[in-house]
Structure formats: structure tokens, C-alpha cells
Amino acid sequence: MDPRQRPLLRRRLEVLRAFTWSLVAVLILVYALLQIVRHAEFKQIAMQQAVKVRPIAAPRGLVLDRSGQRLVDNRRALHLVIQREDLPSKPEVMSQLAAALELDPAALARKIQSYRLAGKGRPLVLKENLDEAGIAVAERVRSRFPFLSVEVAPRRVYLGDELAGHILGYVGEVDEPLMKAKPDLFHLGETIGKEGFEASGNDKLKGVDGQKRILVDQLGTEVANFGQVDATAGRSIYLTLDAGLQKIAQEAMGEEAGAVVVLDLRDGGVLAMYSSPSYDPNLFLNRLSQDMVDKYLANNLTRPMVNRPIQGIYAPGSTFKLLIALAALEKGIATPQTAIFCGGKKNYYGRDFRCDKASGHGTLSMVQAIAQSCDVYFYELASRLDIDDIHATAEKYGLTERTGIDLPQEKRTRIPSRAWKKKAAPRDPKWYAGETISVGIGQGAVGVTPIGLARFYALLATKGKLLTPHLFYGFRNDQSNQLEAAAYPPPKDTPLDPKHWATLDEGLAEVVQNGTAAANPFIREIAKLVPFSGKTGTAQVATFVDKAHYARQAKFLKDHALFAGYAPRDKPQIAYAVVVENAGFGSTAAAPVAAKLVKYWFVDRLKNPLPPPRGKLVDPFLPPPAPAVPE
């Protein structure tokens, strides 16, 4: 090498050495910045990618009848889900996932978008309640879509099948409108009550979700648990319902459509409330097939989803005559001794109004007219009353309003008045006097719910105590499993004149002892065991020329049968109302149902007497105490 080039080479090596050390210094500074200065920031980002927060669904509270029989329970279930942070965004991935799970692609895409936009909530459930075959399918699909996972969650189970479907209702996933309306209360993916007491008692039954923090690998598999906050289950609830009496109501109705209501006269608790046909709430926990939609929601003329005791509006027929009698007594247009002759029909305003007994009842007093259900007697009372007088009496005794039962979607009874007709029939708003005649026997524009009718007869039984029917009895103490009593709605005192009450009470007792219900041997048999009171009713559905014509009518055109009353006559404990649709006479179709209820409650149930209201109850499903060891 030329000696003259050595200084140049040395300088170049020094520059290269300086550059190299500078580069090393920069790398050290960058490393220090990342590992020391910004260590906490990058650790947090890494942990956010590896540590996930998973919600833990809270079980809803159990539902028990008044004696502790479980009506609603929870079971462990497996769901195929997508965690919120793993929701796919590519349309082709969503389409492939929908095809693999046999879901509607458009519906799945909408649901994923909803969950992506929601601030918080539970995972998106794709398949619920996986059985062994479902788990096998889920594992196969997960091999293609690793962002899927199988999650354990509580599942609602209704133990009575169709026994109390309309009372209990069912649960389902919260919908977007409700979530948006109450974002602080509801979140997507949450299970809430949709119908029945599950809906009205949702705040009582709802628990508080927990959460856990887990470490996941690059495939999303859980590898470590960083701790969790356990979910708090909802509180278990006692209902006023008696499962045994409810079963009797179900069996007594059989295949007939209609409604049964039984009220506890001490506090207004609903002891039984059966709507026929009923439905099994368990069927609504999964996606309904088209056959199920047709059976329950679309093409079924029996309307099994209608809660008839609170949503069915029926002409009360002769059960309404007690209100007409009460209005006549209070207005002073009649007395208990008022005698009216029945010749089988009577002409009002140029039209013959017929009595059910074509040959006539002869001359009757008010008690006899109630017992024999004489239409002409009550036609005459109605002709002496103004329609607004009838409405005012009904309003005074609570028959024009909703009962206020703690169930959703209760309908209001319909007691006509002049003001009502102006709204209901604006083309012909005038109230005609002839219309009042039909109202006198519970026909025409009158329509009542079975629970409203039962409450009116409860008022008669208690001499004027207007009860609020209710189902909520109290909470179950988690430690002692005993009832923590809840305050019941206080009754409204609307006292009846003792003389008026005595007349009505005697008439209702005579119905069973010697009147329209006495011809039935089964009713006579039960009345010997438990003297009970009531009024038969037959509400016309379609017009007919004579009894021969009526016999040829299709079943859906036949009369509704009714029976309402209380038992026992001396110191009544329960009031009831029974409606059997298109079944004919109240004495042959509805009164025997009521007699079966009375027999069970006062005879067959004596081995397990009714607990005192707001008393302490023990869950009979607890293990029995260990036998005492002899000393």
C-alpha cells in the first residue's frame, strides 16, 4: 500500500468507527425509550391484546308458589358465542359463518353490526343450549373460525310445562329499541322477561352480572385467569299462586277454552289463574320453527297466547245481574220484596225480550229472581234504571277500571254509558233506551275480564272491600329459605249497605241450594260438604231462532258459560270466576269447574292448610332434617 494513502484510510476508518458507535448509541437510546421510558405504556397495550374481560351472566331468581313448590328454575347451558372484541368485519367471513351455522346471512350481519356499535354487553350468541350433537357441530365450525367460543350460561326452565304459562311468561334477549331507550339499564345480549311475571317482575328477578379477566394466546384460547368478580343471582320470589289449585283448574278445564280465577279474600292474592288453552314457556326459549309460529302465533283460532283472565273481554251474562240488583237497591227503585211477574217474555219499546224459561217464572221477589236467573225481572229493573246509573254503580265498586294486577297488558272492562257510546260509535252516538234492557242481563255492550268479575264477587263476599289482585308474595331469604313478606296493595273500602248485602248474599246462596245450579248432582254433593255461593251465567255469542236452531249451531257460535261466587258462604275465604267458551249453560259447564275448585281447597287440601298471609314458609325442596339419634 502506498504510504501516502494510509492517513486517508485511517481517517475513513475513524469516520466509520464514529458512525458505528453513533448508531449503537441511537439503538441504545431507542431501546431505553421503549423498554424504560415507555415500558408501562407498551405493557398496557400488550396486556390489552392478551388479557380479556369476559362477562359472567347472572342467573335470574327462582319462582316458587306460595308453599315453596318451584315453578321456574335455572339449569346450566352451553352457547356458541362470539366475544365482542372478536366480531368479524369482512362480509365474506360473515357469509361463510352464516352458511356454516345455517343462519340467515343478512340477519347475522345486522346483529353483528348492532353488537359492534353497542357500547357494552354480553357476547353475541349464535347457537343456544347446545346438546351433544350441537357441541360437535360447534367444534367443527370453530376449527374454521377460531374467534368462536363455547360459553357456559344459566338457562331458564319452567317446571310446570303448561300449568302456569300465562302467569309466568318467558324470557328472551333484550331488543335494540329497549336497549336504546334504557342504555344504563339494559345491554345487548342480556336476558330479560318478555311476558307474564317474568316481565312485570323483571327488576325483582334480575341479577347483577360479574366478570373475569383472562389471559389468551394468539388463537384466543384462555391460558390464565387473572381473577374475577362473581355474578350475583337474582332474588328468588314466592308467588301467591297455589300449584295444587292451579292444577285442579287446568284439569277441570280440560280441552275447553276459557279462564279460571281464584282470589284470596284476606289480601287479594291470586290463588289460581288459568287460561285455556295454555302454552309451555320452555318452547319460547329457542328459535321457533314455522310449525310453532303457526301453532301459537299465526293460524290458531283458539289464540293460546292470549291471557284470557286479564285480556279476555266477555259478556258477563247473568253474573252481571248482581250489579243491576245492587244499582236498583241503592237507587231506591226496588226493594228485596219487589215482586215482578214473568210470563216468559216482555215487550219494551215495540220489541219482545224473552226469558230463558219460555213458560215464565211467575211472580218473583229479588232473591227468587237471582236464584232462578229470571231475565224478565232484570229487564224490568234495567228499564227503571238509566244506563249512566248502572255505569256509576259499576264505577263505584271498581268494575269499570283495571284491577291493577301485577301482570302486563291487562285490559279494562267495558261498562257502557252515554259518554262511552259517543266515543265508541261516533256515527250513531245516541244511547237508546232499548239498549239498557240488554245490559240488564249482561248482554249488549257490556264486557268484563274474568279477573274483574272475580274481584267484583270478592267485593260482595267481603261486604265492600275492593281488593287489588296480585301475584307477588315476597322474597325467599337466601339463608333461611323462608318468606320475607312483601306489603300487599291495601284494599279500598267501599262498604255495602248491610240490608242490600244480605239480599244479594241470600240470592247467591239460593242459586246453589235451590236455583239454576242446584239441578247438577255434582254441585249438590259439593255444596253439602262446603256450602258455597255463586251465580250462573250464559252469555249469547250469536243469535238463533229457537233451541232447535241453537242445537245445530257450530261450537264456536254457542254461548259462553260463566259462574262466579265465593266460598264458603259463612265467613268466605275465596272468590272465583269461571268462563268456559262456547260450552252452553253456566250451570252445566262453568259451575262444576268452580265446584271442583271449592272441593280441592276446602276438602282435599286440608292436610296442607293455607299458610297465614305473610307468614313464614320453608322450601319443601330442601333436604329433610336428619333423624334424631336416640340417647
Which residues are known catalytic residues? 318
What are the residues whose beta carbons fall under 8 Å from the beta carbon of 184, sequence distance 6 or more? Answer: none
Are 55 and 119 in contact by the 8 Å Cβ rule? The answer is no
Say if strands 63-64 and 237-239 run parallel, antiparallel, or are unpaired.
Answer: parallel
Contact present, 214 and 54 (Cβ < 8 Å):
yes
> What element of type H or E holds 156?
strand 148-158
Distance CA 168, CA 53 (A): 34
Side chain identity at residue 209, one-letter code: D
Closest C-alpha to 309, from 450, 162, 467: 450
Q: How many helices (H) and strands (E) does the chain have?
A: 23, 23
Q: How far apart are CA 81 and CA 483, in angstroms?
A: 38
In angstroms, rounded to a whole number, what is the distance separating the alpha carbons of residues 127 and 406? 33
Q: Distance of alpha carbon 162 from its chain centroid, rounded?
A: 13
- Amino acid at site 345: K
| Angle at CA of residue 390, ends 509 and 321, nearest 5° | 25
Residues contacting 66, CB < 8 A, separation 6+:
238, 239, 240, 241, 242, 269, 271, 473, 611, 617
Residue that has been written with the C-alpha cell 217464572 in this structure: 361
Residue 19's alpha-carbon distances to 10, 12, 15, 78, 267, in angstroms, are 14, 10, 6, 63, 94
* Residues ≥6 apart with Cβ < 8 Å to 346: 352, 353, 355, 376, 379, 380
Residue type for 36, please?
I
Sign of CA dihedral 215, 220, 222, 228: positive
Whether the upstream peptide bond of residue 429 has omega within 30° of 0, thus cis, is no
At position 461, the amino acid (one-letter code) is A
User: What are 400's three cell numbers?
Assistant: 269499570
d(CA 286, CA 378): 52
Q: Measured between alpha carbons, how far is 169 from 54 in angstroms, rounded to an integer?
A: 29
Q: Locate 86 and state its grid cell.
A: 372478536
Q: How far apart are CA 267 and CA 489, in angstroms?
A: 8
Contact (Cβ atoms closer than 8 angstroms) between residue 538 and residue 562: yes
The answer to whether 245 and 272 are in contact (CB under 8 A) is yes
The separation between CA 227 and the C-alpha centre of its own chain, rounded to angstroms, equals: 39
Residue 187 corresponds to which cell in the numbers above? 345491554
